[in-house]
Every structure is written in structure tokens, then in C-alpha cells.
Amino acid sequence: MNRSNYAPTQKNGKSDTKSQTPEEMLKSRMDSVSYYQNFIKEKLQVDLDRSIQNKAKILEDLESYLDLKSNIELIQENQLKEMKTMINLGCECYVKAKVPDTTMINVNVGLDIYVQYSLDDALKFIETREIYLSKQAEQLTTIIYMIQTKIDLILQSINDLISLPK
């Protein structure tokens, strides 16, 4: 979107409002309102939605790691050498599974790459990953607030433009 299509007529970088008729000033104001409404809709709202989706994905990953951490701690506390469990295949479809050796575990380290860890090493990795994902979530929270603030400020400016005398 080209801002120059909506900007008031300018000479030497200054608005030439003294030579504009009231109708031209009103049209210029409404063009500015339209530009900023489109900017919110096409840029800021898209960025906001994308940031919210990214944060949700990070929080989902973080929850998975925390669940894994609690399961590993449960295995260690109860000193389980083998165990039976139910595995979710997707769409809430579960199958029974038997784990003959609980001393090693495969952990998704990202990009669907799995690494086999001992339980203690897996806990160390999860702790590192938890810190990383928490920082990412905090950064996205800050970005989300900044975008929301920009939207609020622009909406307030639009209201101010609309409420100016005609």
C-alpha cells in the first residue's frame, strides 16, 4: 500500500492545508482514516495473529516437555525398570505399550529429530529447553503487547481525526 496515495497534498514537506477547501480537507482526512484502518487490518492484525499463534505453539511445546519431565521424575522416584502405558496415536486413539527398559528415553530435540538420553541427561536437556522456550514465550508476549499498543494508538488517532470539526 503506497502511503502517498492517501497523504494530504504536500509542498516542501509541509501540509498545504491553508489552500485546501473544507471539502478537500475532509476528503484528505477520510483518506488518512482509510489508510490507517487498512494498515491495521493488513499489517498489524496479521502480525498480531501470527505472534499469538507462534506463542501458542511454544507454550504447547513447553507443556509437552514439562509433562515428559514429570513422567521421568515419576519413573525415577518409583525406580521403575519396566512399565506399561497407553500411547496416543492421534485423534484420541490409544494403544497399549510395554516399555521393557526405562533407563533410556528418546527425546524430540526439534524438527522431529529424536536423541536417546539417559533419564538424568534427558532432565538436563529438558531444563535447558524449558529455559529457552520460556524466554521465547516472554519475547513473543512483549511483541504482542507492542502490536496491541500500536493498534490502540492508531485507533485513538483515527477517532481523533474523525472527531475533528468539519
Determine, yes or no, domain membership for 59: yes
- List pLDDT tens digits, range 83-93: 888 888 889 89
Q: 109, 115 in Cβ contact below 8 A?
A: yes
Number of folded domains that form the chain: 1
Structural domain contains residue 3? no
Average pLDDT over residues 120-149: 96
Residue 57 forms part of a structural domain: yes
Range of the domain at 124: 21-163
> What is the pTM for the complete model shown?
0.74
Which domain CATH number covers 156?
1.10.287.370
**Within a domain: 25:** yes
Using 50, 70 and 90 to split pLDDT, how confident is the model at 80?
confident
Measuring CA to CA, which residue among 55, 60, 61 is closest to residue 141?
A: 55
Beta-sheet pairing, 83-90 with 14-15: unpaired
